């Protein structure tokens, strides 16, 4: 939904091209074009929607590409590309079925440094090709068995993103091309919203650096006892003298306990991209920083061990004192 799609058609030894869409048993002409006299350009002869459709070709006009911008659920259907040569008959390429799911964004969440899976739900289909896009770039998906990259295919058409980073957050679009029962190539477009969670512990007096000001970030809010309040907005900047911005990093200078809480990053549609829980680092009984729950557990067990040993030690000392007094008493008796 809302993305651009491109349909390709062979123009080799052809001079005219047209695209049709079949939906609900109605065949509609969408676009037609023909080569100029020199055969080096395509001239539009019909365009059903000039604001959303345009045609491009390679330098030798051997392939024509129709781009439809801002696709909606109403663009779903079976697309035919026809072309003509010197004969009056039109030659049609293999049709492409386009399925666009309306308002069906799948919410996916993961922890920074962890993995997430974008499930396609098409394991029983014969997959021809998969492509993954974000709103700003094409994301390369490794389809080999042993992949070294962060993004790879799993199973039939699921996509795994591992070692999550903040910039992974936001909208993702998975294009799945597959063969149906009539061996026609169909296209399914799936939309996901990826939300990333993180936890940070900061020592009092240090600078807290949050590299969360992504290209698709609109504002950063903090949740405290007073509810959600804005600390940064695109176009207006920070709302406090203690806050600064460097590149994509929001910096809270000289961190204090009042800066603890939950911070969230929202996009232009109000969707949450990143959530960060910020706590203050504390010192353990040795004077060292406690960074993990495991450290806390170890230190607690250590203290408990000594607390159990203390009564035992006192008991041993008392026994020794009594024994010493008894020995002295025996010696005095012998002297007498």
Q: Which of 161, 186, 165, 191 is nearest to 176 (CA)?
A: 186
Which residues touch 231 (CB under 8 Å, ≥6 apart)? 220, 221, 222, 238, 239, 240, 243, 250, 263
What is the tens place of the pLDDT at every residue in 316-326?
A: 777 677 667 66
Tell me which of 159 and 328 has the higher pLDDT.
159
Q: Where are the alpha helices (DSSP H) in the chain?
A: 293-335
Tokens of 80: 């035919």
User: Could you give the residue range(s) of every CATH 2.60.40.10 domain in the chain?
Assistant: 5-100, 106-195, 203-283
The architecture that CATH gives domain 5-100 is Sandwich (2.60)
138 near 128, Cβ under 8 Å? no
Residue range 5-21, pLDDT digits in tens: 888 898 888 999 999 99
The stretch 212-230 carries a mean pLDDT of: 90
Distance CA 265, CA 232 (A): 9
Residue with the larger pLDDT of the pair 50 and 329: 50
Confidence label for 301 from pLDDT (cuts 50, 70 and 90): low
**In the predicted structure, residue 274 carries a pLDDT above the cut 60:** yes
CA distances from 14 to 42, 77, 95, 108, 138 (A): 11, 25, 18, 46, 31
pLDDT at 303: 56
Instruction: State pTM to two decimals.
Output: 0.61
pLDDT tens-place string over residues 163-212: 999 999 999 999 888 876 666 677 788 889 999 999 999 999 999 999 99
Distances (CA, A) of 246 to 9, 252, 255, 260, 261: 47, 11, 17, 21, 22
Rounded to an integer, the average pLDDT of 46-71 is 89
Number of helical H runs and strand E runs in the chain: 1, 27
Separation of alpha carbons 44 and 55, rounded Å: 8
For position 307, what pLDDT does the model report?
Answer: 58
CATH architecture of the domain 203-283 equals Sandwich (2.60)
Q: Strand 185-202 to strand 26-35: parallel, antiparallel, or no bridges (unpaired)?
A: unpaired
CATH tag, 106-195: 2.60.40.10
Q: What is the reported pLDDT for 178?
A: 80
At residue 307, φ and ψ (nearest 5 deg) are: -65, -35
Q: List, as one string, the DSSP characters of 248-266.
A: TEEEESS--GGG-EEEEEE
Q: Is residue 58 predicted with pLDDT exceeding 80?
A: yes
| Contact yes or no for 177/185 (Cβ under 8 A) | yes
| Residue 321 DSSP SS3 | helix
Average pLDDT of the chain, as a whole number: 84
């Amino acid at each position: 939904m809302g993305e651009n799609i491109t349909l390709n058609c062979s123009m080799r030894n052809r001079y005219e091209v047209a695209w049709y869409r079949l939906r609900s048993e109605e065949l509609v002409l969408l676009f037609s074009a023909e080569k100029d006299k020199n055969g080096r350009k395509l001239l539009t002869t019909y365009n059903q929607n000039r604001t959303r459709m345009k045609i491009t070709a390679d330098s030798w006009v051997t392939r024509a590409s129709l781009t439809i911008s801002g696709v909606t659920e109403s663009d779903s259907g079976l697309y035919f590309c026809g072309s003509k040569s010197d004969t009056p008959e039109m030659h049609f390429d293999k049709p492409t079925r386009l399925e666009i799911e309306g308002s069906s964004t799948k919410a996916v969440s993961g922890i920074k440094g962890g993995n997430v899976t974008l499930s396609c739900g098409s394991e029983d289909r014969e997959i021809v090709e998969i492509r993954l896009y974000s709103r700003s770039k094409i994301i390369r998906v490794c389809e080999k068995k042993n992949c070294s990259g962060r993004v790879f295919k799993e199973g039939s058409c699921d996509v795994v993103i591992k070692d999550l980073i903040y910039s992974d957050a936001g909208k993702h679009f998975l294009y799945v091309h597959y063969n149906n029962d009539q061996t026609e190539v169909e296209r399914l477009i799936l939309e996901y919203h990826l939300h990333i969670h993180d936890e940070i512990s900061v020592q009092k007096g240090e600078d807290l650096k949050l590299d969360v000001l992504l290209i698709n970030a609109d504002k950063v809010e903090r949740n405290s006892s007073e509810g959600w309040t804005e600390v940064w907005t695109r176009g207006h900047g920070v709302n406090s003298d203690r806050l600064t911005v460097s590149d994509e990093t929001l910096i809270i200078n000289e961190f204090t306990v009042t800066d603890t809480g939950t911070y969230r990053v929202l996009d232009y549609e109000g969707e949450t991209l990143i959530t960060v829980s910020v706590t203050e680092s504390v010192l353990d009984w040795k004077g060292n920083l406690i960074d993990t729950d495991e450290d806390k557990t170890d230190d607690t067990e250590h203290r408990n061990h000594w607390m159990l040993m203390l009564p035992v030690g006192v008991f041993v000392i008392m026994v020794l004192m009594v024994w010493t007094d008894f020995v002295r008493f025996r010696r005095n008796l012998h002297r007498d």
